Each structure stands twice: as C-alpha cells, then as structure tokens.
Amino acid sequence: MNFNDLNLNTPLYNALNDLGFTTPTPIQAEAFNVVASGKDVVGIAQTGTGKTFAYMLPILKHLTFSTQETPRVLVLVPTRELVVQVVDEIEKLSKYINNRVLGVYGGTNINTQKQAIAQGIDILVATPGRFYDLALSRVLQLKTIQKLVIDEVDVMLDLGFRHQLINIFDILPDKRQNIMFSATMTHDVDVLINDFFKNPERVSIAVSGTPLENISQERYHVPNFYTKVNLLTHLLQDTDRFNKVLIFVAFKKMADRLFEKLEEHFKEEICVIHSNKTQNYRLRSIEQFRNGDNRILIATDVMARGLDIDNVSHVINFDTPDYPENYMHRIGRTGRAEREGEALIFSTEVEKEAIESIENLMKMTIPLMALPEALVISTELIEEERPQIKERYNPTKRNDEDAPGPAFHEKSEKNSKENLGGSYKFKIAEKYKKPKTRGDKNFNKRNKGK
C-alpha cells in the first residue's frame, strides 16, 4: 500500500511529497479509514510507528476551511515536549492547508496563550493541566470541538492525569469523536475506554512485546551503581561507535546523580532531561542532543514517549525498568526509520526478575556480554543498594497499638454538664423568669414610694 490508496487530497499529497513519504506505516494504513469514519477509535502501536500522522491525516483531509475562532480539534498529550513535537508534525502536514494550529502547556505565561487563542485556532494541542486552566478561564470556548485525540494515554495515567481527563470529558460537547492512541493497553486505560467511549473500534499494530528486528540488544550483569558508572564511562570512550547515546534511568534523583558522575569525564558532551528541569532547560537539552552539540543525553522514563530524535546510535538502559513495556519504549528511540540501532541494558542481581519479565514479553533472551577486563569493580554502594538494618527486638519500644492516643483530661466542674432530663427547662425558667410587672418602668417608679 502507498499513500495514493488512502485517497487523500492534493494539499496533503504535496506535503507528503515534500517530506519524502510514499508508504504509510502499518498503523497509518490500518487507522485511516476507521478515524475517517467518525467512530470512536482506540489505536495500540509502539512508539515511533507514526501515530501522529495516523490520526492527523484523516482529520486534516476532512477539516474544511472555516473562519470561526474556536477550536474544532483538541489533541491532548502528556508532556510539554510532546506538545512541541505534535504541533511540528501537524504544521508539516498543513503546509498547503489554510488552518491554524496552537500548542499550549504549563510553565509558560498563560496570558500570552490566552491572546493566541483569542486570535482564532482550528487545532489545539495541549497538556491536560494547562488546557483545563484555559477552559475554566472562559477564554477557551469548547462548544465547537468535534474531535478529541488523546495521545500516549498510558503515560497520562501513569503521571496521575486521570482526574483531569475525567474533568475534561465532562466539559466537552457530548457529540464528538473520541480518538485514543497508546503504546500499551493497561487496566487503567481499559477502564477509561469503557467509561467514556461509545463502542470504539480497536486498531492494534505490533504487540508491544515484539522486539524491533533492526535493533541489536546486549546485556551486562553489573553488581552495583558505581560499577555501572565505570562500565558506562569505559564504553563511552569509543566516540566512533557511541556517537549519539540516549541513557535511560528510572527516576529524577538517579538522573542527576549519574549526570554528576559522567560530567567529570564528558563535560562538554553530556546533558540531562527530566520533569524537574525548567522548560527552557529541557528544550535546550533536546535541541543540543538533536543537533549533535551533545553526544550523550540522560533521560527518565517519563520522557521516553516525548522524544523524537533521529540517528540515535545507542539506547543504554542504565537500570532495568520494572515494567517490561517500558523497556520496549526505551529501545524504540533507536533503530528508527529502518536504520540499525543498538540497545544495552545494565542489570544487577536485584533486577534479575525484571530481566526475566522483559525476556518473557519479547519471547527471546537478551545476549549476556562479558565485562571488559579493564573494568574496575567497585564495592561502594549508594543508599538504595545498602542493606536495610532491622532493629532487634526492643521491649521498651512501644508498638503502634501501644502508642498514646489523643490527649484526654477531665472537664472542670463549671464546664461539666448534667443530664437533667425534662426538669431542665423548668430550672431555666425559674432562673430567668419574667418580672410580674412585665418591665413597666414608669409603673415601678410611681409605686416605688408607696
């Protein structure tokens, strides 16, 4: 199949020709007619398989010219980087189409975004939080939205956006097409579909556990963090082989820790990106890595789906991800566009079970490589690797059930209350009874001397 079989219009064909695309990817071919039909759609495909074009080609084909100022298409994505990326992809396809595209996300001036919205838009790409803020401010009118696209929904749910998504569903028009794309089908994703989608049609391409054939994989069994650093430093010395390296770690603290260690050896070649970094820092790091100014980029799992960088020679899993699907998302950053790629994974004894889960999902064994002879094996452990010291039985230490409860004391006598039953109202009446003269002061004065 080629794009001619999709019966696109001339502006889209011209844009695809400029991009040099002639053949749609499997998800683009399978999803086109389903999305174009107007039905609710759930698409499952690996990262890097062209999901953005899969939903935007049919949307743009049927998006007629309009002078209205309010958006007709809403695309929700989990990260700021993905907003920038999706807007860029839509603009490439819209080169010969007269439409207006805007991307909005947190961390920037909301008033500037309000002004851009007021000028009129057709397609809005947004992160859930910033979109909801703009909707509540009333500057963003939602009554004309016809299509809702949720991209990378599994990441959104991992990041805790479930309640924001539910709130967004409540304020959008009931009559709309829902289009959702995800790299994995989790229980949370399935619940979301059942609650808010109307008989969706599912399009599934390439099970997430299927290894990409053009990516070679290797594994190193390493005892601890500092030995992993030594191994990584040793490998990265080969600048010809490791010419564009993406290193994944599990969490932000580990990313900063690894950056600090590697910076000693590769100061001008390394950068880091995670959600605690400022927006400008993150975008600058990505651009420097994309342009080749930096050879090495350290990233967290959350950023795995928000990176679209060509010619990544190696993906190195500095640690083993807990979920095997995350391993697939990580290594999907290399070997793109039919190029050869390499993926390495460093694993400790503690991570053995996670390795087995990955290999079971892929139905293959990752080749185990021998450690280099010159590698220095460290005995130093970081905090997370040190054995937890459990306190021996201490009879003087209180258990939770023995802990003192809330403070308690007897009330003072004047504040204590007595249940007087039915006689209480009579005592009050006696104490505060009305005067016999009904308070007639003049009558009391006249009769005072009598």
- Looking at 162, 182, 204, which one is the last position of a domain? 204
CA distance 308 to 202: 25
| Parent domain of 56 | 3-204
Q: Which stretches within 140-224 are classed as H helix?
A: 153-158, 162-171, 187-196
Q: Is the C-alpha dihedral spanning 328, 294, 258, 378 positive or negative? A: positive
The confidence score (pLDDT) of residue 354 equals: 93
pLDDT one-digit tens code per residue, 422-432 = 566 666 666 66
Collapsing DSSP states into helix, strand and coil, what is residue 260? Answer: helix
pLDDT one-digit tens code per residue, 224-263 = 999 999 999 999 999 999 999 999 998 889 999 999 999 9
| CATH classification at residue 196 | 3.40.50.300
pLDDT one-digit tens code per residue, 260-303 = 999 999 998 999 998 788 878 888 999 999 999 999 999 987 66
CA dihedral angle for residue 117, residue 8, residue 152, residue 334, rounded to 10 degrees:
-120
**Are residues 190 and 244 both part of a single domain?**
no
Q: How confident is the model at residue 155 (pLDDT cuts 50, 70, 90)?
A: confident
Asked if pLDDT for residue 145 goes beyond 90, the answer is: yes
CA distance 439 to 209: 93
pTM over 0.75: no
Can you say how many angstroms the Cα of residue 444 is from the centroid of all Cα atoms in its chain? 83
As a whole number, mean pLDDT of residues 205-230 equals 84
Nearest to 371 by CA among 243, 246, 218: 218
**Are residues 269 and 343 both part of a single domain?**
yes
Who contacts 115 (Cβ-Cβ below 8 Å, separation ≥6)?
none
**Are residues 131 and 43 both part of a single domain?**
yes
As a whole number, mean pLDDT of residues 322-334 equals 82
**Are residues 16 and 96 both part of a single domain?**
yes
- Looking at 385, 417, 441, which one is the last position of a domain? 385
- The pairing of strands 147-151 and 73-76 is parallel
Tell me how many domains the chain contains.
Answer: 2
